[in-house]
Amino acid sequence: MAIKNGDFIEIEYSGKIKATGKVFDTNISKEAKDANIFNEKANYGPIIICVGEEDVLQGLDEALVGKEEGKKFSVDIPAEKGFGKKNPKLVKMMALDKFHKENIRPVPGLQLDFGNMVGTIVTVNGGRVMVDFNHPLANRELTYDVKINKIVKEDKEKLQGFLEFYLSTKDLEVELKEGKAEIKTKKELPEEIKKVITEKVNKRIPNIKEVNFSTTAKKEEKK
């Protein structure tokens, strides 16, 4: 059966920089280890996404349409459908003193958090530091190798997969009965996150009419 927008699918993938073949992202632990990007805190394994909802890069999202479950494929993604073209306005000059005050020694290639942005040091000259706030993979053509394990049919599995993907955790419980979803998490979710989840669930899984949240945090604290 050909995949279409709105379908939930389970996939395994590896993303590479096309020019070098270097793997920069994967949900396959062996691939991550082989590429020296393995993160012990990451949740490796197949993920469930909703096609057409930009859960993945635009170029990959579009390439999934028309593919068959159980198949593998590779797709090249141009920069404009990946991490975008570089924006010259996102390259800033900053005073070296700003870094010294934070006990940071800026060197080219160093990536730092600046509030809600990540910047990469480009040059350090004469008391001034050039910082590039573009995504590190901006302007890069990418290649994705993908295996489509299956099309997900059951609403509960769709919901479970969406939550694990969106919240980046498997520490949650899902119950679904007569269009009513009960979501239990170990930590209390902020109200704005609950609102976004509810909106996305209502759009993606129309059979779910009500979404409720609870937490097991208090129970665990008492133990």
* Residue corresponding to tokens 């934070």: 102
List CB contacts of 203: < 8 A, sequence separation 6 or more: none
Count of domains in the chain? 3
Between residues 41 and 18, the one the model is more confident about:
18
- The CATH number linked to 120 is 2.40.10.330
Give the structural domain span for 37: 1-84+139-150
Residue 66 shares a structural domain with residue 101: no
pLDDT computed for residue 73 by the predictor: 98
- The CATH number linked to 220 is 3.30.70.2210
Between residues 223 and 44, the one the model is more confident about:
44
pLDDT computed for residue 114 by the predictor: 87
- For the entire predicted model, the pTM comes to 0.85
φ, ψ dihedrals at 44, nearest 5°: -85, 155
Q: Do 207 and 155 form a contact (C-beta atoms < 8 A)?
A: yes
Q: How far is CA 22 from the centre of its chain?
A: 19
Kindly tell me if the per-residue pLDDT of 218 is higher than 80. no
Residue 201 shares a structural domain with residue 219: yes
Q: What's the chain's Rg over C-alpha atoms?
A: 21
Residue 98 shares a structural domain with residue 146: no
pLDDT computed for residue 115 by the predictor: 81
Structure tokens at 140: 């890069």
Residue 159 shares a structural domain with residue 190: yes
Taking only the tens place, the pLDDT of each residue in 170-187 is 999 999 999 999 999 999
The mean predicted confidence, pLDDT, of the chain is 94
Taking only the tens place, the pLDDT of each residue in 66-84 is 999 999 999 999 999 999 9
Mean pLDDT of 50-54: 96
List CB contacts of 219: < 8 A, sequence separation 6 or more: none
φ, ψ dihedrals at 118, nearest 5°: -115, 130
Kindly tell me if the per-residue pLDDT of 222 is higher than 80. no
Kindly tell me if the per-residue pLDDT of 220 is higher than 50. no
Kindly tell me if the per-residue pLDDT of 58 is higher than 80. yes
Mean pLDDT of 111-125: 91
pLDDT computed for residue 37 by the predictor: 96
